[in-house]
Amino acid sequence: MKRLFKKHILLGVSGGIAAYKSADLVRRLQDEGAIVRVVMTQGAQAFITPLTMQALSGNPVHTELLDTNAEAAMGHIELARWADLVLVAPASANFIARLSRGAADDLLTTVCLATRAKVAISPAMNQAMWSNQATQDNLAHLKTKGIQVIEPGVGSQACGDVGPGRMPDSEVLVNAAANCFEGGRLLGQRVIITAGPTREAIDPVRYISNHSSGKMGYALAEKFAEAGAQVTLISGPVSLDVPAKVDRVSVISAKDMLDAVLERIADCDIFVSAAAVADYTPSEVANQKIKKSETDIRLALAKTTDIIATVAALKNHPVTIGFAAETNDVISYATDKLVRKGLDMIIANDVSDSCIGFNSDDNAVTVITKDQVKHIGQTNKRLLAGELVEHISHLIGL
- The catalytic position among 159, 180, 268, 355 is 159
Q: Which of residues 15-44 bind ligand PMT (CB under 6 A)?
A: none
Instruction: Supply the minimum distance, in Å, between the C-beta of residue 299 and ligand PMT.
Output: 18
Told to judge if 268 belongs to the known catalytic residues of this protein, a careful annotator would answer: no
Work out whether 358 is an interface residue with ligand PMT (CB under 6 A). Answer: yes
Work out whether 224 is an interface residue with ligand PMT (CB under 6 A). Answer: no
Q: What is the dihedral of CA 325, 327, 332, 338, to 10 degrees?
A: -10
Q: Which of residues 134-193 bind ligand PMT (CB under 6 A)?
A: none
Quote the distance between the C-alpha of residue 385 and its chain's center.
7
Sequence letter at residue 192: I
CA 21 to each of CA 59, 341, 344: distance values in angstroms, whole numbers, following the listed order: 18, 56, 50
Q: Give the ranges where 67-132 is alpha helix by DSSP (H).
A: 68-74, 76-82, 93-100, 107-114, 127-131
For β-strands 148-149 and 153-156, DSSP reports them as unpaired
* Closest CB to ligand PMT among residues 159, 302: 302
* Closest CB to ligand PMT among residues 94, 380: 380
Quote the distance between the C-alpha of residue 178 and its chain's center.
14
Dihedral sign of CA atoms 278, 283, 289, 294 in order: negative
Question: Residue 238's CB: how many other CB atoms inside 10 A?
Answer: 17
Work out whether 324 is an interface residue with ligand PMT (CB under 6 A). Answer: yes
Contact region with ligand PMT (CB under 6 A), list: 11-19, 37-45, 245-253, 301-309 = 301-309
Instruction: Supply the minimum distance, in Å, between the C-beta of residue 369 and ligand PMT.
Output: 15
Out of 325, 368, 384, 392, the only residue in the binding site for ligand PMT (CB under 6 A) is 325
Contact region with ligand PMT (CB under 6 A), list: 16-24, 37-45, 120-128, 275-283 = 275-283
Work out whether 318 is an interface residue with ligand PMT (CB under 6 A). Answer: no
Specify whether the CB–CB gap between 351 and 370 falls below 8 A. no
So which residues are the catalytic ones?
159
Q: Which residues bind ligand PMT (CB under 6 A)?
A: 196, 212-216, 254, 273-277, 279, 304, 306-308, 322-325, 337, 349, 351, 357-359
